[in-house]
Amino acid sequence: MLHILVLLLIIVLGIRILDSCSGCLILIGLGFLTLFLFKWWIVWLGIALIVFLFNL
């Protein structure tokens, strides 16, 4: 359940931050890789929050 919420957050922030199709696909792809292969979802959550805060 937590992984799904984190993935949704990564997707939403990716769309908001990058605002482009190719950028979104790259970010979503990296999110999937880290979530399901490496389980480093907390790292991506931190990166997404940092970039989001800098864009406010």
Average pLDDT, stretch 13-22?
Answer: 63
pLDDT at 21 over 70: no
Q: What percent of the chain has pLDDT over 90?
A: 0
Q: Are 9 and 45 in contact (CB under 8 A)?
A: yes
d(CA 11, CA 7): 6
Average pLDDT, stretch 46-56?
Answer: 71
Tokens of 15: 């769309």
Confidence of residue 55 (pLDDT cuts 50, 70, 90): low
| C-alpha to C-alpha distances, 56 to 1, 17, 34, 51, nearest whole angstrom | 28, 10, 26, 9
